[in-house]
Structure 1
């Protein structure tokens, strides 16, 4: 998913202000390429660092299990608890974003196709719930089909990308000159400094690349996780990063008038861009449908990963009602109760769409911020071990060897830098409507986790339940 695919709305639209993303036009095009490059390189370094950890410790808990293996128990118990909660709620937020994108883009297509359609925010929430229910049913009733769904999703992703890319390049009636694409500066964010606008705009590119740890949380259901998961994680970044860059270049050349795209009443600049290119409502709908389908397919796998995090946290007695949530369906061999609860939590997040667009933007920021914090801590510990006690590291099949320190440092620098600006408001001047509430939501999650730790967790939680790590 590209930044242009994410919601962008104007104050006079019923879609509301500042919905879910900064949108195109917030930053200049040259710096947009810089953002893409920085996000790609930083995400690749982070994925490589996590891949090395999962190759050593193939466990569904991922980040917070890694921590428990690298620090003394007296420190690791509390630290792994905190990272476990951060990772879990980060994944819940990420899992909510795909059905939200798919559902609200369907609404945007209704606006495009039917002049008499009366937009209501709750319509998008109902569509969001419908997609979520389908995803939950596939996760529970069709759990054996999940590998097939993943293969279909990958195949459709590549084929749809090629088709859309060819169509927009061939059909577009006009092409922008290279100066517009590579040189011209546009900053509609309100930030007086292009540098700050560039940094704040990192959310878009970070969001479309984050979540590569999803495979880690399924490793206890795989035959060869030490070798297969690193390939899956690195492959995810390489495929999405290169395809995304190509799509971005094509869109900027063929998009037509920028202001027309930003002023769209559909809520999505990409819908207006496809319409400007094809000059045909049905053709634009067909192109946008590929995005809707991709987001819908992604909803299934994201729910799978998020539910496994809830399940493993409950298995480790770090979540309320842990004995109930940690049960595994003996027939299907999946945590059915955890899938159901995760689906309910995602459904509750959909209610935010009814009352506040800026609040959902905070959820998206929370997703990226939470996951990046969960990546940062174990990678810092890995770097510390590399420098202070390299003999304590027992590498798995995926090992960066002498390049590990440099890659870890690059990853840490990227994560620290982006986490700072993920909490900035997307626009200036800052108002209650466009404020980035990610820090508030993140703080609330931390407080909830801390209260539960003090009341019950510190007596029940003995650290992660780790599987036997065979050679």
Structure 2
């Protein structure tokens, strides 16, 4: 075992970095982390109202398939890169290694900044939706209650900092926690999905939408833009559910034998979640389309969440809707926890090379918790302040989702060099 660890540390030192954190993650715990972070059917459900407004039922369903194929191609490329360069900097480090010499520093710096913005925006969107869902549940239970932007912001902050605290204080047991709790969450998420599909279809029977409408309707309720442009926006929106597949790359320095296990992790965490995501999200999307009775209320819901209206229209029951929404929010909260785990490593790795202001502070590893606590706290501080802008606005939420997708996908685009890759070395 110790020979393994020594060899892993020597491999890292050959890249120009000193080992800073223990290698305590396993393939199973990282796969669980990736599954929680991707959460495709939850990501799709959180933005379903926007997708319907942009491209109706057929666009919402079929762009999900296109988005999966696009992300599968990107994931295959990233799996190849991590097999050659298992480094927690991931895109940041890869950009430097594969870009042409004159562009390498610029590509590396931009990749780090863009990736960080993508992580933060993704975290903000997840916490925002979980908070909005909690208020929607409260509104259903207490009819006289009227949600306010301040209430949502407090809920948003509570969700965010709870996820941070779990990352900090459960750091020593985080892999075991991921392996056990995430294992439970995998089953819980899949079970929730199956129960949700069954409940909404059974309760809505026999008042289903026609298959013609579900699979072919292209009527868009958003008439501000051309249909073709709205289709692209819908595609961008559905790509949201496949984001975060690079998390495992940012923990490459926390698994044993990274040169062997990193490719395995990336295949299991990047490719499988994309396939699993499509297999789970597509039936969920189709079921949701069939049970809609009033599309206008789904697109412009009183609660601000289209999924709430779909559940209400399908079940006709406040109690059933509350249960389904609560289970949905629990699944999505796991995504927030996993986001902070991955993003803190990415910021920490880039800070080792003095990439950001306060890099010395951000590159510190907490001696007790053995994780980049400063990087995790910076993520939470920024996201807390950023959340003030996006309270109670579906338009702003859609913008947040779109920006997250653009930043994350852009960070994965590298400029290859026509020359052979030079020897491993620290990024300057």
Q: Normalising by structure 2, what TM-score?
A: 0.82
Equivalent residues of 2:44, 2:281 under 8 A apart: no
Matches within 5 A, 1:278-357: 278-354=315-391
Residues 162 and 354 of structure 1, relative CA distance in 2, 3 Å threshold: closer
Pick aligned residue for 2:222 from 178, 189, 193:
189
CA contact (8 A) 1:2 1:204 kept: no
Structure 1 residues 356 and 186: CA distance shift in structure 2, 3 A: closer
Distance 1:210 1:185, change over 3 A: same
**Counterpart-to-counterpart distance in 2, 1:357 and 1:219:** 36
Match of residue 10 from structure 2: none
Q: Map 1:225-304 to 2 at 5 A.
A: 225-304=262-341
Query: Structure 1 length normalisation: TM-score?
Result: 0.75
1:23 shift after superposition? 4.1
Task: Give 2:155's aligned residue.
Answer: 127
2:390 aligned counterpart, secondary structure? helix
Alignment deviations for residues 271-304 of structure 1 (CA, whole Å, 9 cap, x no partner) = 1111111111011110111211111111100111
Aligned-pair distance for 1:118? 2.0
Q: Deviations over 1:162-219 (max 9, x none)?
A: 1111212222231122112112332111145321221121222111112211221111
Query: Tell me, what secondary structure is at the counterpart of 2:55?
Result: coil
Answer whether contact 1:91 1:367 (CA < 8 A) is retained: yes
TM-superposed deviation, 1:306: 1.3
8 Å CA contact 1:109–1:266 kept in 2: the answer is: no
Cα–Cα, structure 1 residues 75 and 237, in superposed 2: closer, same or farther, change >3 Å?
same
Q: Deviations over 1:81-110 (max 9, x none)?
A: 111111111111112221111011111222
Greater relative contact order (CA < 8 Å, ≥ 6 in sequence): 2
Q: Which runs of 5+ in 1 are unaligned?
A: 9-21, 395-461, 466-471
Contact 1:219–1:229 under 8 Å retained in 2: no
Which deviates more from structure 2 when the two are superposed, residues 297-306 or residues 222-231?
Answer: 222-231
Q: Which residue of 1 aligns with 2:251?
A: 218
C-alpha displacement at 1:75, in angstroms? 2.6
Matched, 1:156 2:188: yes
Residue 257 of structure 1, CA deviation: 2.5
For residues 301 and 198 of structure 1, the distance between their equivalents in structure 2, rounded to whole angstroms, comes to 30
Aligned counterpart, 1:169 = 201
1:72 Cα offset (Å): 4.6
Kept after mapping to 1: 8 A contact 2:89/2:346: yes
- Mapped to 1, the partners of 2:277 and 2:422 lie a distance apart of 31
Across the two proteins, how many residue pairs are aligned to each other? Answer: 377
Which ranges of structure 2 fall in alignment gaps of 5 or more residues?
Answer: 1-41
Give 1:13's aligned residue: none
In structure 1, C-alpha distance between the alignment counterparts of 2:327 and 2:76, rounded to whole Å: 30
CA RMSD for the aligned pairs? 2.3
Q: Using the alignment, how far apart are the partners of 1:130 and 1:247 within structure 2? A: 29
Distance 2:48 2:286 in 1: 20
- Contact persistence 1:68–1:463 (CA under 8 A): no
Q: C-alpha separation between the residues in 2 aligned to 1:360 and 1:184?
A: 25
User: Residue 58 of structure 1 aligns with which residue?
Assistant: 86
Is 1:71–2:34 an aligned residue pair? no
Give secondary structure in 1 for the equivalent of 2:303. coil
